Amino acid sequence: MWKTILRRVVIMIPQIVILSLLVFILAKFMPGDPFTGSITPQTDASQLHALKVQAGLYDPWYTQYVHWVVNMFHGDFGTSYQFKEPVMAVIGGRAVNTLWLSLFTVILTYLIAIPLGLLAGRYEDTNLDRGIMFFNYVTYAIPLFVFLVLGLWLFGYVLGWFPSGGSISLSANGFFGNALSRLYHMILPGVLTALLSTTSTVQYLRSEIVDQKHQDMVATARAKGVPERKVFSRHILRNSLLPIAAFMGYSITGLLGGSVFVEQIFVYPGMGQLFLNSISNRDFSVITALVMIYGILALFGTLLSDIIMSIVDPRIRIK
Amino acid sequence: MSLVEIKDLKVHYPIRSGFFNRIHDYVYAVDGVNFEIEPGQTYGLIGETGSGKTTIGRSIIGLEKITSGQILFNGKDVSTKRERKAVHYNRDVQMIFQDSLSSLNPKKRIYDIIAEPLRNFEKLSDTEEKHRVRELLDTVGLGDDDLFKYPFEFSGGQRQRIGVARAISTNPKLVIADEPVSALDLSVQAQVLNYMQEIQKQFNISYLFISHDLGVVRHMCDSMAIMHRGRFVELGTRDDIYNHPQHIYTKRLLAAIPDINVDQREVHRKHRKEVEKVFDTEQSRYYDKNGRVLPLQQISETHSVALPEDQVKGE
Amino acid sequence: MTNSKETQAVKTPSTMKVIWQEFRHDRVAMFSLVFTIVLILGIFIYAASLNLEKVTNVNIFAQYDKPGQDGFLLGADEGGRDGLKMLVIGARNSIMIGFAVTVISSLFGIIYGMISGFYGGWLDNGMMRIYDFINILPEIMIIIVLVTIVPKYNSWTFIIIMSCFMWLSTARLIRSKALAESKRDYVSASRTSGTSDFKILFREVLPNLSSIIIVDTTLSFAGNIGIETGLSFLGFGLPDSTPSLGTLISYAQDPDVIGSKPWVWLPAAVIILVLTLSISYIGQALRRAGDAQQRRG
């Protein structure tokens, strides 16, 4: 098993290199440079040129690339033109917000998806199953942003149950007050996103359980007279639930992609919103850093899932 | 000159493992096999599952890449794809597959299935082609009505006859039949085999008959080879193999044929147990220390057996 | 000859026929199909009768007219433009972009997947590595970055950029099916019949994937409409000159509009829901038809 994990990690190295190259190339195509923001009518052209030479902007691309990568390893992504602050400092606070919202969403997703999948599988072909499958079809078909806008409108404006944006209310104070206010702001975006993220887990669990139900060992247990409930919890549940853990990592990619929509619609100050904000303000050092961070997070997410999968399911170890 | 000559044929599959996916070992699917096929004869290739018999068939027809050795067709080397293409090899060597359903494209009509080799190898006009396909269907006992049906509309036996018709459409000299009837009911088996024999008489085709069914091979083949672990253990005529088996593996195979005679059941079982005991005790003498079958020794003009050398002398 | 032609007409187990049978037995699917066709046709016909310039002309006196006011059936938006006409034009654009992306990306995905699955070996290995890599990229963000840095940005560049990322799931699905298909004996039989690999791939294997391709393309179509409108919603989809359903919903980002002027954006949201739900339902009915056919074969 260690071999599999090690190999999987080794495979990731070229992926990171290519990712960084890709992001670097994208960054090169973005207009402007680190000094664009500080140009004023008084700026001396020759002085600016000297600064650019000093910053290595006229070096061959590979030198620039190596320089960029080395800086990145030191956590130096340059300076944000919009905020006049180091990029990492700008991203830092936002990252925490995104992390909390994502974590909250993942937990909710599983809290909703696992019972639904189990029920649908256990009561296969009943009206309950059909209802859950219909729910699944709806969550599969609806685009996330439409669902979010509709949800915000209904619960945030028409009914007024939840705040319509932000991550914390200004009047909140004290540790618990802050925490509660944060949670309150996360409920609507979290629940709505989670509802739409359940599709694959519900589908997977249901078909896995239906499969297991028809397997010989389950039939044998049943024939031996093991009560149905015990058959279900002993034999079926354990085999079906383990791989679900592995989905956790894969879902990171999906969540990050969705965070752009969620945070934009709910005016939630996270990385996704920062990304869109930076795009409209042409703050390219922040954009580059965010794409890189999202890419690496996705890479680690799949790595995590693959490793969990290889522990849970020995079949894929031999590859 | 023989039609086909196989010289020291080897097909090895690499086993990859470890950190860098290096090749650590090989599966010796076929490991040094020699034989010849004469025109108009039927050869049987017998062995258990995994003995390499199907691999031999697939490498002769060109579906499997050979590791080393040579396949000569009319004296010409046809071991590589390019060489086969140059002499229109598959026009002369064709194949009948075991699973008739999977070997016929479900989305194609019978007409197009049978006409496929014709379109690739012969330049026929539309009318000639139509005529030829009808003729072929007639040869295997199917009518004009069936021309535009799809494979799933036929029974297993009919489908296998369609497979036969496709295989003989370009008047090949050799047809490799890989377990052609083992998926069929007994009554249908005979029917398909009879069609094959009739066609052989009519067109002077050689068959390489691959099977694990000793009864079928006995019915069809003039000479045959017994395979075990990728090598031949015994090679000879029908009489040599069935009446004078020399190798313990052959004896064991023959003993395993069920006897229909109920009165003899006890005798038969006793015989089988004896053979099994001999096989267990003598096994080490008939295989080398790696479990590999020994080289073949010729013991008569038609009969070769993989015997230990001392036993040949003692015979 | 006439006789056999008749049998051919009666007994052909064509994909189309099986699908038709399935739809006849599934009333909801039938309804979705008819409804989608009527809706799309209606949108296209109505949109064709409209003059884009006239519709998008700003009329400040009609700003945020309520539905029914001044003869605007669905009210008017910030620029005083007729909500219904904007809706129809936006819907047409979204459907067309979704369609174009689906055609391009599915075509590419099918070819990629078929080659990868059919040939196998190192080629498959390499192609799957490329697939793996693109798959982990944060696609929404990269699309947005590309949209902002591409020079001479227009609908076509947008279609191409989207297609670059939307072929993946098709390729993966088709690869696994082509892999299974290429192991079947009819492929070997075609080889020994002297047919070239290229011909085997597209003339023998492809027809056997047709029902899967139809299902996948339908579902992709619904998905691509969702992604296009989503990007347009964020402001990185269709150029401003080409309103999309997403553009119309993006008005909801104004807190005043979302709360008190729902007629500006709600109809567009409803149209997207209706479109994606009914097209997906058609896709699922098609999938059931495909399964039934497999059982029969």
% of residues, chain C, pLDDT over 70:
88
Q: Distance between the two ends of chain B, CA-based, in angstroms?
A: 32
pLDDT higher than 70, residue C297: no
Contacts of A302 in chain C (CB under 8 A): 136
Q: Under the phi-then-psi rule, with left for phi > 0, alpha for psi from -120 to 50, and beta for the rest, what region is C70?
A: left
User: CA-CA distance, A289 to A286, in Å (whole number)?
Assistant: 5
Long-range contacts of B140-144 (CB under 8 A, 24+ apart): B140/B164, B140/B165, B140/B195, B140/B199, B141/B195, B142/B110, B144/C3, B144/C4
pLDDT higher than 60, residue C296: no
Of C234, C265, C266, the CB nearest to A276: C234
Q: C touches which chains (3+ CB pairs under 8 A)?
A: A, B
**Main-chain phi, psi angles of C251, to 5 degrees:** -60, -20
User: CA-CA distance, B31 to B233, in Å (whole number)?
Assistant: 12
For residues B190 and C74, which has the higher predicted lDDT (pLDDT)?
B190
Check if C236 contacts A (Cβ < 8 Å). Answer: yes
For residues C188 and B27, which has the higher predicted lDDT (pLDDT)?
C188
What is the overall mean pLDDT for chain C? 84
Over residues A77-99, the mean pLDDT reads 84
* Closest CA relative to residue B119, chosen from B109, B134, B104, B130: B130
- Which one-letter DSSP state was computed for residue C65? P
pLDDT higher than 80, residue A50: no
pLDDT higher than 90, residue C37: yes
Q: Quick one: tokens of C206?
A: 């492809």
Contacts of C258 in chain A (CB under 8 A): 149, 152-153, 157, 164
Check if A142 contacts C (Cβ < 8 Å). Answer: yes
* pLDDT score at A59: 73
pLDDT digits (tens, 9 = 90+) for A270-280: 899 999 988 88
User: CA-CA distance, A97 to B264, in Å (whole number)?
Assistant: 85
Which of A124-128, A160-164, B183-187, C104-108 has the least mean pLDDT? A160-164
Q: A touches which chains (3+ CB pairs under 8 A)?
A: B, C
Residues 6+ apart with CB under 8 A from A206: A117, A120, A121, A124, A129, A132, A133
* pLDDT score at C199: 92
Check if A57 contacts C (Cβ < 8 Å). Answer: no
Contacts of C206 in chain B (CB under 8 A): none
pLDDT higher than 70, residue B13: yes
Contacts of B105 in chain C (CB under 8 A): 186, 189-190, 204, 207-208
Q: Which of C125, C132, C141 to mutate to test the interface with A (most CBs of A within 10 A)?
A: C141
Which of A21-30, A308-317, B229-238, C34-43 has the least mean pLDDT? A308-317
pLDDT higher than 80, residue A317: no
pLDDT higher than 50, residue C250: yes
pLDDT higher than 70, residue B314: no
Question: How would residue A175 be classed by pLDDT, with cut points 50, 70 and 90?
Answer: confident
Check if C57 contacts A (Cβ < 8 Å). Answer: no
What is the overall mean pLDDT for chain B? 86
3-class DSSP string for chain B = CCCEEEEEEEEEEEEEECCCCEEEEEEEEEEEEEEEECCCCEEEEEECCCCCHHHHHHHHHCCCCCCEEEEEECCEECCCHHHHHHCCHHHHEEEECCCHHHHCCCCCCHHHHHHHHHHHHCCCCHHHHHHHHHHHHHHCCCCHHHHHCCHHHCCHHHHHHHHHHHHCCCCCCEEEEECCCCCCCHHHHHHHHHHHHHHHHHHCCEEEEEECCHHHHHHHCCEEEEEECCEEEEEEEHHHHHHCCCCHHHHHHHHCCCCCCHHHHHHHHHHHHHHHHHHHHHHHHHECCCCCECCCEECCCCCEECCCHHHHHHC
pLDDT digits (tens, 9 = 90+) for C130-153: 998 898 888 888 999 999 888 888
Helix axis angle for A284-312 and A87-122, nearest 10°, is: 40
3-class DSSP string for B136-198 = HHHHCCCCHHHHHCCHHHCCHHHHHHHHHHHHCCCCCCEEEEECCCCCCCHHHHHHHHHHHHH
* pLDDT score at A193: 92
Closest Cα of chain C to A50: distance in Å? 27
Residue of A nearest to C137 (CA): A295
> How far, in Å, are A280, B178, C191 from residue B150 at the CA level?
60, 23, 20
Closest Cα of chain A to B56: distance in Å? 28
Question: How would residue A7 be classed by pLDDT, with cut points 50, 70 and 90?
Answer: confident
* pLDDT score at A144: 92
Residue of B nearest to C207 (CA): B107
Contact B116 C185 (CB under 8 A): no
Contacts of C189 in chain B (CB under 8 A): 95, 97, 103-105, 163, 166
Q: Quick one: tokens of C171?
A: 């390729």
pLDDT digits (tens, 9 = 90+) for B246-265: 888 888 888 887 777 777 88
Closest Cα of chain B to C74: distance in Å? 51
Contact A290 C141 (CB under 8 A): yes
User: CA-CA distance, C233 to C286, in Å (whole number)?
Assistant: 30
User: CA-CA distance, C137 to A251, in Å (whole number)?
Assistant: 13
Secondary structure percentages of chain C, helix, strand, coil, to 5 = 80, 0, 20
Contact C194 B91 (CB under 8 A): yes
* pLDDT score at C70: 66
Check if A144 contacts C (Cβ < 8 Å). Answer: yes
pLDDT higher than 80, residue A286: yes
User: CA-CA distance, A34 to A78, in Å (whole number)?
Assistant: 8
Closest Cα of chain A to C193: distance in Å? 34
Q: Under the phi-then-psi rule, with left for phi > 0, alpha for psi from -120 to 50, and beta for the rest, what region is A132?
A: alpha
Over residues B284-309, the mean pLDDT reads 83
pLDDT digits (tens, 9 = 90+) for B132-159: 999 999 988 888 888 888 898 898 889 9
- Residue A47 burial class via C-beta count within 10 angstroms: exposed 0-12, middle 13-18, buried 19 and up: exposed
Of A145, A276, A290, the CB nearest to C230: A145
% of residues, chain C, pLDDT over 90:
43
Architecture of the domain delimited by C19-51+72-295: Orthogonal Bundle (1.10)
Q: Quick one: tokens of B40?
A: 């108009």
Contacts of C7 in chain B (CB under 8 A): 145, 148-149
Question: How would residue A55 be classed by pLDDT, with cut points 50, 70 and 90?
Answer: low
* pLDDT score at B312: 60
Q: Quick one: tokens of C74?
A: 């669905």
Contacts of A6 in chain B (CB under 8 A): 19
Of C7, C189, C296, the CB nearest to B103: C189
Distance of CA B146 to the CA centre of its chain: 29
Q: Is C213 helix (H, G, I), strand (E, B) or coil?
A: helix
pLDDT digits (tens, 9 = 90+) for A130-142: 999 999 999 999 9
pLDDT higher than 70, residue C101: yes
- Residue A16 burial class via C-beta count within 10 angstroms: exposed 0-12, middle 13-18, buried 19 and up: middle
For chain B, give every domain's residue range. 4-243, 244-315
pLDDT higher than 70, residue B315: no
Contact B120 C195 (CB under 8 A): yes
What is the overall mean pLDDT for chain A? 82
pLDDT digits (tens, 9 = 90+) for C149-198: 888 888 899 999 999 999 999 999 999 999 999 989 999 999 998 888 99
Over residues B52-61, the mean pLDDT reads 90
* Closest CA relative to residue A294, chosen from A26, A20, A84, A82: A20
User: CA-CA distance, A319 to B18, in Å (whole number)?
Assistant: 10
Closest Cα of chain A to C263: distance in Å? 12
Q: Quick one: tokens of A72?
A: 């990145």
Of A142, A145, A275, the CB nearest to C233: A145
Inter-residue contact B189 to B216 (CB < 8 Å): yes
Question: CATH fold of B4-243, please?
Answer: Rossmann fold (3.40.50)
Most distant pair of Cα atoms in chain A: their distance: 90
Residue of A nearest to B20 (CA): A7
Question: How would residue C109 be classed by pLDDT, with cut points 50, 70 and 90?
Answer: very high
Contact B105 C190 (CB under 8 A): yes
Check if B19 contacts A (Cβ < 8 Å). Answer: yes
Contacts of B18 in chain A (CB under 8 A): 3
Closest Cα of chain C to A143: distance in Å? 5
Question: How would residue A38 be classed by pLDDT, with cut points 50, 70 and 90?
Answer: low
* pLDDT score at C1: 36
Closest Cα of chain A to C5: distance in Å? 42
Q: B touches which chains (3+ CB pairs under 8 A)?
A: A, C
* pLDDT score at B311: 67
Which of A229-238, C5-14, C266-275 has the least mean pLDDT? C5-14
User: CA-CA distance, B248 to B243, in Å (whole number)?
Assistant: 14
**How many interface pairs between A and C have CB atoms less than 8 angstroms apart?**
112
* pLDDT score at A156: 84
Inter-residue contact C233 to C247 (CB < 8 Å): yes
User: CA-CA distance, B195 to B160, in Å (whole number)?
Assistant: 11
User: Which stretches of chain A are DSSP H helices?
Assistant: 2-29, 45-54, 61-73, 87-122, 127-141, 144-151, 175-197, 199-213, 216-223, 228-230, 238-265, 271-280, 284-312
Task: Show the CA angle centred on residue C229, arms to residues A294 and C243, nearest 5°.
Answer: 130
Question: CATH fold of A87-312, please?
Answer: MetI-like fold (1.10.3720)
pLDDT higher than 80, residue C240: no
Q: Under an 8 Å CB criterion, which residues of B touch C? A: 58, 61-63, 88, 90-91, 93-95, 97-99, 102-109, 116-117, 120-121, 144-145, 147-150, 152-153, 163, 166
pLDDT higher than 70, residue B78: yes
* pLDDT score at C224: 94
Check if C3 contacts B (Cβ < 8 Å). Answer: yes
Contact B107 C11 (CB under 8 A): no
Closest Cα of chain A to C229: distance in Å? 9
Question: How would residue C11 be classed by pLDDT, with cut points 50, 70 and 90?
Answer: very low
Residue of B nearest to A2 (CA): B19
pLDDT digits (tens, 9 = 90+) for B92-114: 999 999 888 889 998 899 999 99
> Which helix or strand (DSSP H or E) is residue C127 part of?
helix C121-136
Inter-residue contact C88 to C50 (CB < 8 Å): yes
> How far, in Å, are A156, A196, A260, B247, C30 from residue A139 at the CA level?
21, 5, 19, 68, 21
* Closest CA relative to residue A157, chosen from A127, A188, A202: A188
Contact B106 C208 (CB under 8 A): yes
User: CA-CA distance, A42 to A195, in Å (whole number)?
Assistant: 55
Residues 6+ apart with CB under 8 A from B137: B110, B114, B143, B144, B146, B147, B162, B165
* pLDDT score at A39: 63
